[in-house]
Chain A
C-alpha cells in the first residue's frame, strides 16, 4: 500500500460523519475509484508559468530593497523610533480615534434622520450628507481653521441677534489647529458613515422589525437588540474601510501645521534631505496601523457572522494548528516506518478519547473503516498523540478541546465546501 492510498483512506474515514449529505460528493467517488484506476489530476501549465513570473518579480523587488543602498535603511532605522516620530504617531492616532468616534456617532444620528418619517429631519440629513461629500476635506479644514475671518468671536446670546452675549470668546483661541482638524475630519466622516450605517439598517429584513413589534419590544430595544446586530454584518466591512481611510486621511491636516505623522516626517526630511527613508518611516507606520485594524476587522466580522452561516470557517490560527496536527498524523500513516503491531496496540487502549471521538458517532462509514482496520488503527493512535502534543503546548482553546476531531471536521468541511 502506498503512502498516497493510505492518505486517501484517512480522508475517507474521517470526512463523511462530520459533513452529512455533503460527503456523498467527490470523496466517496475517490474512494471507489481508488480500488480501480489511478486518477491523474489535470496539469495547469499556465498557472505554473504565471506563478513563476510572479515569484521572480517579488524576489527581484526584495533583492533590490536589500541591495540598493539608496533606500538608506540605516536612516530609516534611525528615525523609525525617534521621539518626534512617535509623538506624531500618537497625534495621528488621537485624531483618528476622536474623529472616528464623533464621526460614526454623528453618522448614526444622521442615518436615523434619513430613515425618519419626518420630511424635515430626512431632508436636513440629506443636505448635510450632500454638503460634506461635496466639499473637499482639505478645504473644509482650512475654513474651520480660518473661521475667525467670518466670525471673529463665538459665544452664547439671544438667538437671531448680535447685540446681547452671555459669554463670548475670540474664535482663534476657541478653534486651535487640533480643533479645526478634529471638527473637519469628524464632520466629513459623519457624512460617509451615515450612508454606510443607513445601508446596513436597510439590509435587515422588515419581517425582523415586525416580529419584534409583535412581541411588544419597545422601539429602542428593537433597534439595538434586533436591527443593529444584524445591520452590523453589512456595516462592519465598510466601516473598517472608512476607519483605515481615516487613518491616512489624517495626513491632510498637515495643511494646518499640526505635527501628525506625515507633517513630522516632512519637517525632518526638509531639514536633512533624506526624503525616501523618511517617507518610508511614515508608510511603514501607516501599514502597521492598517494591519492591526485589518486583523481586528477579521475578528469583529466573525463575531457578527454568528448565526448568519451554519458553521464559521476556522481562523488562521486554528487552521495552522490543524495543519500541524495533520502533518503529524500523516507522518504516522507511512507504513514504511513499520511498528504496525505496536500502533494497533495503542489504538486498542481505551485511553484515547480523541481517537474515539474521531469516528463521528452515528454517521461514519463503517464498511470502509472495517475493511481497512489496520491502517486506521495507526491513524487513530497517531492522531491522539498529536492531540496530547497540542495540549502540552498549551495551544488548545476550549473550542478545540476535542483536539484533532475539531480540526479534521473543519478540513472535511473545507474540502466539501464546493459541493454544497
Chain B
C-alpha cells in the first residue's frame, strides 16, 4: 500500500530535486525526557533539524513519535531537556541560569511559528473551509478580514480546493478535509510544519492527494517534520528518516541508509512488519 506513494520511475538513488536554501526553521531538541506517571514516553531524545530539512519520524505505535512532535510546539511540556526554534525556547525564557515559564500569550505567539496538522484533521466543523483558514490570521490581528480571505482563497487553491471554499468540513471527503487543515496551518506562514500521521485516518485512495500537497511543501523549502506510516513516502520525500522505539531514537540517517540497510535489529524488525 505504501508503494502507491512512489513515482513509478523512482529508483531510490536521487533524494529529491534541489530545494531553495532555507535560512529559518532550525529545530534543536536536546535530551528531552517526558513521562506520563510511571510511563516514560521519551528518553533523552536529541535531534537537530536544519532549516528546510524534511525529516520523517517512523516507528511502532507507542514509540513516542507523536509525543515528540507535540513537545516541539509546546502542546505537551517536557520533564527534562529543551527544545528551541532558531535558538529560541518555545515555552520558556532563560534568565540567570534558569528556565522561566512564559505567560500563555507569549507561548501562543511563539507557537504560531509552527503549523501542526493532525491525524484526524480537527477542522472546526461549524466553520466553512475558508472560515477555518481565515480564523487564526484574523483573530491574531495579523491580517484584516478581506486580506485573510484573499490569502485563504490562494491557500485553498494551492491545495486544490478552490471550488470547495464555502463547504463545511462534513461536506468534504477525508482527503479534502486534511488538505483544508494543511491550508489552515499555512495561514500563519509558519517556519516549521509538523505533520502527525496526516494520512492515517484516510481511505487508501485518498492518501495520494494529501501526500502530493506535502511533497509540494517539501519542494518549497519549508522545514517539515512528518510522523508517518507511509514508508514509501518517507523514502521519496524525506532528507532524513528517524526511527524511534520505546521513546528512544534507535537509528537515523538518509532514507537509503535507514530503510535499505538498517544497522539495528529493532529497525529491521519494524521494517519487516510494515514493508
Contact = CB atoms under 8 A, between A and B. Distances in A.
Contacts of B188: 215-216
B126 interface: yes
A207 interface: yes
A212 B136 CA distance: 8
B171 A310 contact: yes
Interface stretch (A81-89, A155-163, A224-232): A224-232
Interface stretch (B16-24, B35-43, B110-118, B233-241): B110-118
Nearest to A309: B170
A212 B171 CA distance: 21
Interface in A281-324: 304, 306-310
Interface string A180-220: 00000000000000000000000001011011111111110
B75 A215 contact: no
Contact of A221 (B104, B127, B139, B169): B139
B267 to A, nearest CB: 30
B122 interface: yes
Given A215-B135, A216-B108, A216-B140, A307 B75 contact: no
Contacts of B75: 210, 213-214
B73 interface: yes
B98 interface: no
Contact of A211 (B114, B118, B139): B118
Given A210-B75, A221-B139, A215 B184 contact: yes
Nearest to A206: B122
Interface string A61-91: 0000000000000000000000000000000
B177 to A, nearest CB: 12
B69 to A, nearest CB: 11
B136 A207 contact: no
Given A214-B114, A215-B136, A230 B125 contact: yes
B37 to A, nearest CB: 18
B139 A217 contact: yes
B5 to A, nearest CB: 25
B122 A217 contact: no
Interface in B169-188: 169-171, 184-185, 188
Contact of B168 (A208, A214, A304, A307): A307
Contacts of B109: 216
Contact of B120 (A207, A214, A309): A207
A225 B135 contact: yes
B92 interface: no
Contacts of A225: 135, 139
Contacts of B73: 214
A213 B136 CA distance: 10
A65 B35 CA distance: 73
A95 to B, nearest CB: 33
B14 interface: no
Interface residues of A, number: 24
Nearest to A216: B112
Contacts, number: 72
Task: Give the most central of A210, A213, A307, A308: most B CB within 10 Å.
Answer: A307
Given A207-B120, A218-B108, A308 B126 contact: yes
A304 B170 CA distance: 14
A307 B135 contact: no
Contacts of A306: 126, 168
Nearest to A213: B75
Which of A213, A214, A304, A307 has the most CB atoms of chain B within a 10 A radius of its CB? A214
Contacts of A229: 126
Contacts of B111: 213-214, 216
Contacts of A211: 116, 118, 122-124
B7 interface: no
Contacts of A226: 124
Interface in A374-401: none
Nearest to B187: A215
Contact of B136 (A210, A216, A219, A310): A216
A230 B73 CA distance: 25
A207 B126 contact: no
A225 B138 CA distance: 12
Nearest to A233: B126
A212 B127 CA distance: 13
A330 B118 CA distance: 51
A310 B122 CA distance: 17
A214 B116 contact: yes
A217 B136 contact: yes
Contacts of A217: 108, 135-136, 139-140
A414 B126 CA distance: 23
Interface in B144-179: 168-171
A219 B127 CA distance: 18
A246 B207 CA distance: 52
B116 A307 contact: no
A309 to B, nearest CB: 7
Contacts of B184: 215
B272 interface: no
Nearest to A221: B139
Contact of B122 (A207, A219, A307, A308): A207
Interface in B182-231: 184-185, 188
Nearest to A214: B116
A211 B185 CA distance: 10
A276 B127 CA distance: 52
A215 B168 CA distance: 19
Contacts of A207: 118, 120, 122
Given A211-B118, A214-B73, A214-B114, A307 B136 contact: no
B111 to A, nearest CB: 5
A105 to B, nearest CB: 23
Interface string A333-369: 0000000000000000000000000000000000000
B128 to A, nearest CB: 8
Contacts of B120: 207
10 contacts: A207-B118, A211-B122, A213-B111, A214-B111, A214-B114, A214-B116, A217-B136, A308-B125, A308-B170, A310-B170
Given A219-B104, A307-B168, A310-B170, 7 more contacts: A205-B122, A213-B108, A215-B184, A217-B136, A225-B135, A306-B168, A307-B127
Question: Nearest 6 A-B pairs (CB), nearest first?
Answer: A211-B122, A216-B112, A307-B168, A215-B136, A214-B116, A207-B122
